Amino acid sequence: MLGAEFTFDQAQDILIIIGSFFAAVGGFYYWAWRPFVQLDEDRAQRIANEAARQAVEPLAETLATIKGEVTTNGGASLKDVVLKTREQQKILQAKFDQHMQEGHNG
């Protein structure tokens, strides 16, 4: 057993001290630590967003260039050249077939 006895007033004082300690720690966490961590998280998010923007920007320019080449725009794109070549190939195929028929019939 304990050699000394605690009185109710002493136990109440100890509980008040312990409660004050936890209130101080909780207040420090709520008013000092949490905003500090939030600021750090916000800063980290801004850095991540900027890094992502810098990584995507050249890709966006490249994609715009590729999109310009694979869509029709009146003759200057790669797709326009392919379509024109296909059209000319069909015309040449028709002329070839006509000449082959005339050669066999003639």
The model's pLDDT over 35-45, given as tens digits with 9 standing for 90+, comes to: 888 888 899 99
Q: What is the pLDDT of residue 86?
A: 93
- Asked whether 66 and 59 are in contact (CB, 8 A), the reply is no
Q: What is the pLDDT of residue 3?
A: 53
Q: What is the pLDDT of residue 106?
A: 61
What's the pLDDT band for 104 if we cut at 50, 70, 90? confident
Angle at 9 between CA 7 and CA 10, to 5 degrees: 65
Rounded CA-CA distance 81/85 in Å is 6
Beta strands (DSSP E) in 7-77 are: none
- Give the whole-number percent of the chain exceeding pLDDT 70: 95
Instruction: For the chain, give every domain's residue range.
Output: 9-70, 73-106
Q: Looking at the predicted structure, is the pLDDT value of residue 16 above 60?
A: yes
